[in-house]
């Protein structure tokens, strides 16, 4: 049996060697695989650890772009100097109390995993929900209020709106968008069914009426709000605003994507004055996600036909063939307590591929995991089994996974005495361990990192944290020295390792580095001033695209035209290793349908067993095992799970 297994592995290895000699030769699909991240009905953004886990989970299952909310109920989900100056509100209250910047945290974790981040201005021109005063925007600016033909400030579906045609309202929204671009290394911005938008019943406020009169010989707007000319006049004003938004974003950085998620057309025009075909014809949108929120595959297909035409390859929908590469319909995964599971979602994606649509965006994150029968796992095992870049990146990988060096890697020079720290009760590190050095002991660590490109990098240090130990037994000034300019210059940053909010990745520098192996980060215990121990853990480099937009990372691409078999993943299953490629450790997850004998082994490409990870009876459920390749050579390895009479094999790559 061992001989047969070895022959099988050798055959698999021959295929792998011809197509996966190294990570750069991986073939990427050109697809949009997105997920909206909201602060409503989802606790994820309110916990730093949850953000990291969520980004790991999505990336491991093929998601390549996330859309985190940054504007909701006239509050920002990032520290906004604009909102503080104008309204006295820096950030959403919970984040203010926590002392956190959830957008910065999410960007770090998503970019660490190689995913793009497009902040989502969810509320757009809506001022409040359920608050008939209009909230802080309308209370401070009553002339912004939208009004119907009876002169009333009204709500539509519970939302009260600021007038999206008023220049002051438009300026606020543009200033918030520019603030995010200026302060964060992002990949685009997104509006939705409220940006740019306005209830079609609105437009009878003094400003809009006077503007209409000035362009129509002194005549008043029609009394009927659905009058075709009156609708198109207001819709054109919103389209013009989108043009300003688009030009302003591209002036900041032409590589940033302008993404929009309107209601489905022509509901979008009739109800919210969103003239989506005009947006596309005007080239004011790089990526569009009409909200085709339906609970069955048949109902979804009906909506899809309205978008692209009655038959695959036909013409007749409002997204023309030349714009189809921009299209990734919005798919609903959860609504209240109702979830739409892998089977129905797979059918919707199959319809997309049948109609030549290479991508979709899911609303919203809470419908991707356990609450929805692990939808993301199902996608990762079928449609999203191959990596993908966005279709308009011209074959360039914009977000390579971060370069991470752990404290025990071979490239770390250790001087003096460092104590190994293992979790429980001591704080866990990035890979479950860290080192502790005593202040004034003369010990130091130098991280000699293989920098992948000549570029600007955001540099991070990982801070282990445990509430029982860190406040009393960790320095308030962990000294990190980051070298740049060929090592001639340095930046020193001190991190308070006793603070709960500083657990995980903490930024320590933003520097330009040349490619190649060089000392980048150093920790010296003699530079600690409070006499407390320092924890040394992983350091990380993330390519800063805001400062290095022109770094080229070409990859092999192809648009996959196959339709994977529609199936829910087997209950007993082996998930992809994460991270992959890895150095020197990676995590392997597997799921068991029932309690059974489990054997998991790792083989090299010659069929030689290099490790046994599990060899025992395991209970039903999901399990995870850590594989450490520190003593192995770089290259491709196969890991094999045998459980309950089934055998699963997958591949992973160790790169040192």
For the chain, domains (ranges, CATH) are 8-389 (3.20.20.80), 403-543 (2.60.120.260), 570-654 (2.60.40.1930)
Question: Which pLDDT belongs to residue 17?
Answer: 35
d(CA 8, CA 649): 11
Q: pLDDT digits over 528-564, tens only? A: 999 999 999 999 999 999 999 999 999 998 654 444 4
Alpha-carbon distance 183 to 78, whole Å?
A: 10
Q: Return the pLDDT at 301.
A: 96
Show Cβ contacts of residue 318 under 8 Å, excluding neighbours closer than 6 positions: 265, 266, 276, 277, 280, 306, 307
Distances (CA, A) of 331 to 143, 264, 290: 37, 12, 9
pLDDT at 12: 36
Per-residue confidence (pLDDT) for residue 7, from 0 to 100? 33
The C-alpha atoms of residue 333 and residue 25 are separated, in whole angstroms, by 34
Binned at pLDDT 50, 70 and 90, residue 15 comes out as very low
How far is residue 76 from each of residues 68, 91, 93, 125, 175, measured CA to CA in Å? 11, 5, 10, 14, 13
pLDDT tens-digit series, residues 50-65: 999 999 999 999 999 9
pLDDT of 565 above 70: no
pLDDT beyond 60 at 343? yes
Q: What is the pLDDT of residues 613-645, one digit of tens each?
A: 999 988 887 787 888 898 998 888 889 899 988
Question: What is the mean predicted confidence (pLDDT) over 488-497?
Answer: 97
Q: What is the residue whose two structure tokens read 């003239």? A: 275
With a pLDDT cut of 70, the percent of the chain lying above it is 93
Angle of the 297-308 helix axis to the 342-354 helix axis, nearest 10:
20
Quote the Cα angle for 216-193-41, to 5°.
150
Closest CA to 637 of 648, 653, 613: 653
Lowest pLDDT segment from 357-371, 405-419, 521-535, 577-591 = 577-591
Q: For 148-159, how does the pLDDT look when each residue is reduced to its tens digit (9 = 90+)?
A: 999 999 999 999
Q: What is the pLDDT of residue 25?
A: 63
Question: Residue 457 and residue 542: Cα distance in Å, rounded?
Answer: 5
For 142, the 3-state DSSP assignment is helix
- Residue 549's CB is within 10 A of a number of other CB atoms, namely 14
Q: How far apart are the first and last CA of the chain?
A: 33
For the chain, what is the mean pLDDT? 91
| pLDDT tens digit sequence for 356-378 | 999 999 999 999 999 899 999 99
Tens digit of pLDDT for each residue in 49-107? Answer: 999 999 999 999 999 999 999 999 999 999 999 999 999 999 999 999 999 999 999 99
Residue with token string 């011809």: 18
Written as six digits, the tokens of 259 are 């993404």
Q: What is the DSSP string of 515-535?
A: SEEEEEEEEEGGG-SS---EE
Of the spans 123-132, 424-433, 572-581, which averages the highest pLDDT? 123-132
Q: Which distant-in-sequence residues (6+ apart) come within 8 Å of 597 by Cβ?
A: 616, 617, 618, 643
How far is it, in rounded angstroms, from Cα 142 to Cα 159?
Answer: 16
Mean pLDDT over 440-464 rounds to: 97
pLDDT band at residue 567 using 50, 70 and 90 as cut-offs: very low
Q: Which of 18-32, 235-249, 461-475 has the lowest mean pLDDT?
A: 18-32
When pLDDT is cut at 50, 70 and 90, the band that residue 34 belongs to is very high
Longest CA–CA span in the chain (Å) reads: 90
Per-residue confidence at 579, pLDDT binned at 50, 70, 90? confident
pLDDT at 559: 53
Q: Encoding tokens for residue 151?
A: 């002169």
pLDDT for 18: 36
The predicted structure's pLDDT at residue 470:
82
pLDDT grade for 471, boundaries at 50, 70 and 90: confident
Averaged over 594-599, what is the pLDDT?
89
* Among the listed residues 230, 306, 231, the one whose alpha carbon sits nearest the alpha carbon of residue 271: 231
pLDDT, average across residues 383-409:
95
Query: Is residue 515 pLDDT above 60, yes or no?
Result: yes
* Residue 449, number of CB atoms within 10 A of its CB: 24
Q: Hey, is 227 helix, strand or coil?
A: coil
Q: Which pair of structure tokens corresponds to residue 390? A: 């966005």
Q: What does the buried/exposed string (b/e) look like for 315-347 if buried means 16 or more CB atoms within 10 Å of the residue's CB?
A: eebbbeeebbbbbbbbbbbbeeeebbebebbbe
> Taking 60 as the threshold, does the pLDDT of residue 21 lie above it?
no
The length of the chain, given as a count of residues: 656
On the question of pLDDT at 312 being above 90, the answer is no
Residue 4 has pLDDT above 90, yes or no: no
Is the pLDDT at 176 greater than 80? The verdict is yes
- pLDDT of residue 119 exceeding 50: yes
State the pLDDT at residue 564.
Answer: 43
Local confidence band at 257 (pLDDT 50, 70, 90 cut-offs)? very high
Element (H, E) at 129: strand 126-129
Contact between 611 and 627 (Cβ < 8 Å): yes
Task: Give residue 10's pLDDT.
Answer: 36
């Amino acid at each position: 049996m061992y001989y047969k297994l070895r022959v099988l592995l050798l055959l698999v290895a021959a295929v792998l060697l011809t197509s996966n000699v190294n990570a750069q030769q991986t073939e990427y699909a050109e697809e949009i695989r997105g997920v909206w991240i909201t602060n409503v009905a989802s606790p994820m953004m309110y916990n730093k650890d949850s953000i990291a886990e969520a980004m790991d989970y999505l990336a491991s299952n093929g998601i390549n772009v996330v859309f985190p909310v940054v504007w909701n109920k006239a509050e920002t989900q990032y520290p906004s100097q604009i909102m503080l100056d104008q309204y006295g509100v820096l950030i959403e209250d919970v984040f203010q109390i926590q002392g956190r910047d959830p957008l910065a945290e999410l960007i770090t974790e998503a970019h660490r995993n190689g995913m793009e981040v497009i902040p989502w201005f969810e509320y757009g021109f809506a001022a409040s929900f359920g608050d008939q005063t209009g909230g802080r925007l309308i209370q401070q600016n009553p002339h912004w209020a939208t009004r119907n033909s009876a002169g009333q400030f009204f709500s539509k579906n519970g939302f009260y709106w600021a007038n999206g045609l008023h220049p002051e309202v438009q300026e606020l929204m543009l200033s918030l968008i520019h603030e995010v671009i200026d302060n964060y290394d992002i990949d685009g911005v997104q509006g939705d069914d409220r940006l740019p938008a306005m209830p079609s019943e609105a437009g009878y406020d003094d400003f809009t009426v006077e503007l209409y009169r000035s362009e129509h010989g002194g005549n008043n707007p029609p009394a009927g709000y659905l009058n075709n000319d009156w609708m198109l006049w207001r819709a054109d004003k919103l389209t013009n605003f989108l043009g300003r938004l688009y030009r302003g974003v591209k002036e900041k950085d032409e590589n940033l994507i302008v993404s929009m998620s309107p209601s489905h057309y022509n509901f979008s025009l009739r109800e919210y004055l969103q003239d989506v075909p005009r947006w596309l014809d005007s080239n004011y949108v790089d990526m569009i996600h009409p909200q085709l929120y339906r609970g069955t595959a048949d109902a979804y297909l009906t909506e899809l036909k309205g978008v692209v035409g009655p038959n695959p390859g036909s013409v007749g929908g409002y997204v023309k063939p030349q714009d189809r590469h921009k299209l990734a319909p919005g798919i609903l995964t959860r609504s209240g307590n109702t979830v739409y599971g892998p089977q129905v979602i797979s059918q919707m994606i199959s319809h997309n591929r049948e109609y030549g649509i290479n991508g979709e965006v899911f609303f919203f994150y809470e419908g991707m995991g356990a609450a929805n029968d692990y939808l993301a796992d199902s996608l990762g095992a079928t449609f999203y089994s191959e990596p993908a870049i966005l279709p308009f990146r011209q074959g360039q990988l914009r977000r390579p996974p971060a370069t991470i060096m752990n404290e025990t890697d071979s490239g770390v020079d250790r001087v003096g005495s460092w104590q190994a720290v293992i979790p429980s009760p001591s704080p866990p590190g990035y890979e479950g361990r860290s080192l502790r050095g005593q202040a004034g002991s003369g010990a130091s660590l130098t991280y000699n990192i293989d920098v992948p490109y000549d570029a600007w990098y955001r540099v991070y240090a990982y801070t282990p944290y445990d509430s029982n130990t860190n406040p009393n037994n960790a320095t308030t000034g962990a000294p990190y020295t980051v070298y740049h300019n060929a090592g001639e210059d340095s930046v020193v940053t001190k991190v308070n390792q006793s603070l709960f909010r500083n657990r995980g990745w903490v930024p320590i520098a933003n520097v330009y580095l040349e490619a190649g192996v060089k000392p980048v980060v150093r920790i010296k215990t003699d530079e600690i001033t409070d006499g407390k121990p320092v924890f040394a853990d992983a350091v990380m480099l993330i390519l800063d695209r805001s400062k290095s937009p022109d770094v080229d990372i070409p990859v092999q691409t192809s648009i996959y035209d196959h339709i994977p078999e529609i199936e829910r993943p087997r209950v007993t299953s082996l998930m992809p290793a994460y991270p992959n490629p890895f150095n020197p450790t990676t995590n392997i997850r597997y799921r068991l349908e029932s309690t059974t004998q489990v054997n998991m082994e790792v083989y090299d490409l010659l069929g030689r067993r290099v490790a046994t990870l599990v060899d025992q009876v395991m209970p039903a459920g999901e399990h995870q095992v850590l594989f450490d390749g520190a003593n192995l050579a770089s290259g491709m390895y196969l890991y094999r799970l045998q459980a309950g009479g089934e055998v699963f094999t997958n591949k992973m790559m160790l790169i040192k």
